[in-house]
Amino acid sequence: MPVVHQAERAATTVAVTGYNGPMKVYTGTDAAIDPGAVAGFARRAEAAGYDGLHVSETVHDPFLLALLALQATERIVVRTSVALAFVRSPLLTAYTAWDLSKLSRGRFHLGLGSQIRQNIEDRYAMPWSAPAARMRDYVGVVRAAFDTFRTGELHAYRGDQYRFTRMQPYFNPGPDTETPVPPIYLGAVGPRMCGVAGETADGLVTHPTNSDARYLTDECLPALAPGASAAGRSLDGFDIVAGLQVITGATDADVAAERERRRRLFAFLYSTPAYRDALCRNGFPDLQPELAELVRRDAWDRLGSVVTDEVLGAIVPTARYDTLAEVIRGRLAPVASSGMSVGVTLALPDNPDHDHLMADVVAQLQGRVASPADGG
């Protein structure tokens, strides 16, 4: 029976020694990026040495953005992070993912997520049902469709939420054994969806508000194991991509200025009740209600006394470019000890003149060059 790795549960401490192995590094497009700017942004990411680019579903169709990015690049992976599953047919998703993989010779990865009930019903005008069970069946249909395209023969799937039982030859792009089967990643936060990822997916991308070491160690990794065990899978090599937010800059003054900018953004984001758990995990159980009240009163001048440097430092990795890789490795050490593959998201600098500084960080994390802490 395959061995399923389960992280040690450290209730009050996290690893302080860094992970020295190679990791994949991705960046992401801005949520409101103009489609006309995607090609240039993707080329910047490729030139800076990133392994891949994440495109989200916010104000644009993520598959359109992925196509533009793939056409503009030659090396990097482009992954939807994430495309909303429940607003589109799983077969249509499979068709699109297959075409993008064929076009790019395997550089497209399919990232799927569920979204919240209010958005599915009220913004997308689509029906809602229990998301974890529905995602399990959704991925089942997508994988069955991939098998159908690959072999040219119907691979039926019957689940409680979806079924896939018909494919006439006229509608089948196969048999096609040349197109690489797109890997499937899930965006997940709660234990049920993490369990579905362990059961059905090739990897998981964590939300920026749930990428701290305690979440990874105490909640995410243990939740993956039951799903993998139920499916008879090992989690060796399973890919976890931590959706980090970081505060960085070329100098201490740059870092300080960025910290002040992010203090306001942090307060706005974490005033949302849905993200209270992240604050509680890191020792700030009373902060979310206080932030919500400050935001409601527009009392931004009080943030410095509430969102302290201690709060920011506990949740958002903070360092100059020249020490950022070392800080990130320390944060991700719990994932590395699990036997899973480790990845991270890092934003490209707002200033393109600093791309070469982030390129050094990327190379250190990938293991292509030694970090200054290792004598590089």
Q: Are 148 and 172 in contact (CB under 8 A)?
A: yes
Where does the pLDDT of residue 303 fall: very low under 50, low under 70, confident under 90, or very high at 90 and above?
A: confident
- Is residue 164 classed as helix, strand or coil in its secondary structure? strand
| pLDDT, tens digit, 9 for 90 and up, residues 308-321 | 999 998 899 999 99
Q: What pLDDT, in 10s, does the model give residues 187-232?
A: 998 999 999 999 999 999 999 888 988 899 899 999 999 999 999 9
For the chain, give the percent of residues with pLDDT over 70.
93
pLDDT bucket at 300, cuts 50 / 70 / 90: confident
78-114 pLDDT, tens digit each: 999 999 999 999 999 999 999 999 999 999 999 999 9
Q: Is the pLDDT of residue 247 over 80?
A: yes
Q: Which fold has domain 24-246+317-367?
A: TIM Barrel (3.20.20)
- pTM of the prediction? 0.90
For residue 19, the model assigns a pLDDT of 65
Contact 147, 211 (CB under 8 A): no
Predicted confidence at residue 15, as pLDDT, reads 32
Pairwise CA distance, residues 91 & 318, whole Å: 42
Q: Residue 351, exposed/middle/buried by CB under 10 A (0-12, 13-18, 19+)? A: exposed
Question: Is 169 exposed, middle or buried (CB count within 10 Å of its CB: 0-12, 13-18, 19+)?
Answer: exposed
Residue in the structure block whose two tokens are 């079924």: 163
Band the pLDDT of 304: cuts 50, 70, 90: confident
CA nearest to 149, candidates 178, 175, 167: 175
Using the predicted structure, report yes or no on whether residue 58 has a pLDDT greater than 80.
yes
Q: Which of 367, 284, 340, 355 lies closest to 40, judged by CA? A: 355
The pLDDT confidence band at residue 375, using thresholds 50, 70 and 90, is low
pLDDT value, residue 312: 92
Residue 286 CA: distances (Å) to CA of 55, 110, 227, 277: 34, 38, 33, 11
pLDDT confidence band for 331 (50 / 70 / 90): confident
Residue ranges per structural domain of the chain: 24-246+317-367, 252-316
Query: What pLDDT is stored for residue 122 in this prediction?
Result: 95
Tell me how far apart the alpha carbons of residues 169 and 197 are, in angstroms, rounded to a whole number: 31
Asked if the model's pLDDT at residue 5 lies above 80, the reply is no
- The mean pLDDT value of the chain amounts to 90
Question: Can you give the pLDDT at residue 53?
Answer: 98
Model confidence pLDDT, tens digit, residues 350-369: 999 999 999 999 999 999 88
pLDDT digits (tens, 9 = 90+) for 111-144: 999 998 999 999 999 999 999 999 999 999 999 9
